[in-house]
Amino acid sequence: MSPLNDSLIEQTAIVPQEYELSVESVHKQIQKIQQAMKSFMKKDEHYGIIPGTHKPTLYKAGAEKLAFMFKFAPTYEINRSELKEGHREYEITCHLLHQVTGRLLSDGVGSCSTLESKYRYRQAKMRCPMCSKEGSIIKGKLEFGGGWVCYRQKGGCNAKFAITDTVITLQPKGKIENPDIADSYNTVLKMAKKRAQIDATLSACAASDIFGQDLEDTDVETTIQNAKDLQSAEDKIKYSLSRVELENVYKNLSSALRSGLQKQYQAKTNSFGTPPIASAPTASLPAPVASKVSHDIDICKASIEKAITQDELVKVFSAFPLQIKDQVREEFVKKAQSFKGE
């Protein structure tokens, strides 16, 4: 079979093409990657698991670790296309050579363009006509006179504008074309390079069945960010008090994360009768949460008193924070029964 001895396999791992790999050495290589994942590759740093998928996704840092371990030497071929309106696309081919033998192990391709929506668009932020600060304009609270305010805590100048003032209301809103597209050239170049490098690494290691290859629209940074967002969203859900708060957490999640959290979210929001966190006694909640709960209970009790019809009562009750529903159930039942008797 293979004329290579074990030590040479150990040393080079990926053997020159005139020698075929034995089943054993292929197995060894897979084991080596798996060992690397266990010992020095960290989840969310070198690879990640995207909600809704079961295969880990290889990140740039992970591709670099594998390249180091298997002695890959990458070279890149860059192809740049100028597109209309200052847009640009990079197509990159990554050639992976073996450092010791100099042989070509694999080619990987990756492209990226400023027309991808995350570079093409940005979220328009309102600009203060007085101090030119961007993103400091907020809707003033009614009890402080309403209107628009250039908010000091967002670095604003405290200027106030009427709610109908067109210097504010006519400013573009939502998704707008990024006016500084040239600022993204470097990012897009790096992204294309990264995609090519990961593609080449996966084929050189024959590791596509260990790592999922395609992130489709999700790039590496987004994936890492998603993992962090998911953690913080889970924390928020754990301590969120009201249905409204839960809904806000949920709304702010990207669709990829939403699918991962959907079950958890539904379990909490659909559990009108027995909300899972309702059973936790107030005392076991963190102190600030507990005091908010008891404050909210008072408000809820008051609105139960004010409810006139049964429908109103149900509506009031439905709007209650989840934990509180359980605690005010007695009042609710009593009141509902008294309506029944009328």
Residues that bind Zn ion (CB under 5 A): 128, 130-131, 150, 156-157, 159
Handedness of CA 61, 62, 64, 69 (dihedral sign): positive
Would you call 106 helix, strand, or coil by DSSP?
A: strand
Closer of 47 and 151 to Zn ion (Cβ): 151
Report the first-to-last Cα separation within the chain, whole angstroms.
Answer: 92
Closer of 150 and 207 to Zn ion (Cβ): 150
Give the C-alpha separation, 119 to 194, whole Å.
Answer: 16
Closer of 127 and 268 to Zn ion (Cβ): 127
Closer of 52 and 155 to Zn ion (Cβ): 155
Shortest Å distance, C-beta 132 to Zn ion: 7
Would you call 121 helix, strand, or coil by DSSP?
A: strand
Task: Identify the burial level of 119 via C-beta atoms within 10 angstroms of its C-beta, where 0-12 means exposed, 13-18 middle and 19 or more buried.
Answer: buried
Burial state string for 287-318 with b = 16 or more CB within 10 A and e = fewer than 16 = eeeeebbeebbeebeebbeebeeeeebeebbe
Shortest Å distance, C-beta 129 to Zn ion: 8
Give the C-alpha separation, 297 to 303, whole Å.
Answer: 10
Shortest Å distance, C-beta 125 to Zn ion: 13
Closer of 171 and 291 to Zn ion (Cβ): 171
Handedness of CA 12, 17, 18, 23 (dihedral sign): positive
Shortest Å distance, C-beta 131 to Zn ion: 3
Would you call 5 helix, strand, or coil by DSSP?
A: coil
Shortest Å distance, C-beta 158 to Zn ion: 7
Closer of 60 and 133 to Zn ion (Cβ): 133
Shortest Å distance, C-beta 136 to Zn ion: 6
Shortest Å distance, C-beta 143 to Zn ion: 21
Closer of 133 and 195 to Zn ion (Cβ): 133
Task: Identify the burial level of 143 via C-beta atoms within 10 angstroms of its C-beta, where 0-12 means exposed, 13-18 middle and 19 or more buried.
Answer: exposed
